[in-house]
Amino acid sequence: MKRSFKLEVAEARTMVHAAAPCPPDVKRRMLDWWGDSIFEYYAATEGGGTLVTPQEWRVHPGTVGRAWPGAEIKIFDDAGQELPVGQQGTVYMRLGQADFEYHKDSEKTRKNRIGNYFTVGDVGYLNDQGYLFLCDRKIDMIISGGENIYPAEIENVLLGHPKIADVAVFGIPNADWGEEVKAVVEPAAGVEPGPALSAEILAFCADKLAKFKLPRTIDFLAELPRDPNGKLYKRKLRDPYWE
């Protein structure tokens, strides 16, 4: 999500956003600007999801909400065991007694199921009040030296830098550690990319991220590739490094 936007709002009554969690600092400023009118949901076409009101979000910053009526959310590990409150794992959901099968793909249906629950591949955890917090897409997770690193956490920190308009973080090959953290940054308008900006960004992150989560290198692009709905084409950025 880009940090800046130019929407003029005289009196916002209800705004809804979804698709990806908004960095907490950005959303807090949006709520302070527009008032408590921004609702957020997390869901899948297959059924089920969560919803959070602006008032709830202020109490639980970063959450995408609790399961809406008729839906259920559970967190499972890779062995298919349900995880307790606070532990990160794969997010599974279901909507009542609803059932489905992916069109002509029974294998995908089987791999994405545990009992009547299905997943779309997100990693997250539940707090003791049932609020869901997303960490990242499982497919985007970086494994470096045996540590699991979620790009979304790093991106949220980087987006707090005033000279960054947009950013993407992903893993690239590293001979010793398996993967290393790469950041691709779109500088804010009028900001000159280069080694000086890289050093400034890394210094900004130094006390906000564990050392193993810091980007090893930073590249710059005039504009990151996104579709008309704002979804980042991260594979277009990541794949060349793996070729």
Task: Categorize the per-residue pLDDT at 13 as very low, low, confident or very high, splitting at 50, 70 and 90.
Answer: confident
Average pLDDT of the segment spanning 182-186: 97
Of the candidates 178, 154, 148, the one whose C-alpha atom is nearest the C-alpha of residue 168 is 154
The percentage of residues in the chain with a pLDDT greater than 90, rounded to a whole number, is: 50
Q: Which residue has the higher pLDDT, 22 or 153?
A: 153
Q: What is the pLDDT of residue 5?
A: 47
The percentage of residues in the chain with a pLDDT greater than 70, rounded to a whole number, is: 87
CA distance 243 to 238: 9
Q: What is the pLDDT of residue 47?
A: 72
Q: Which residue has the higher pLDDT, 230 or 4?
A: 230
Which contacts of 72-75 are long-range, i.e. CB under 8 A and separated by 24 or more positions? 72/48, 72/117, 73/48, 73/126, 73/130, 73/132, 74/117, 75/124, 75/125, 75/126
What are the φ/ψ torsions at residue 35 (nearest 5 degrees)?
A: 85, 180
Please list the residues that pair with 37 across neighbouring strands.
Answer: none
Q: Which residue has the higher pLDDT, 187 or 109?
A: 187
CA distance 171 to 173: 7
pLDDT digits 0-9 by tens, 72-120: 999 999 888 999 999 999 999 887 655 656 555 566 656 667 888 888 8
Of the candidates 22, 39, 42, the one whose C-alpha atom is nearest the C-alpha of residue 159 is 22
Q: What is the pLDDT of residue 103?
A: 55
Q: What is the pLDDT of residue 101?
A: 62
Which amino acid appears at position 131 of this protein? Y
Please provide the average confidence, as pLDDT, over all residues in the chain: 85
Q: What is the pLDDT of residue 137?
A: 84
Q: What is the pLDDT of residue 41?
A: 87
Instruction: For residue 9, give both structure tokens.
Output: 């709002």
CA distance 16 to 95: 21
Q: What is the pLDDT of residue 12?
A: 66
Quick check: pTM over 0.85?
A: no
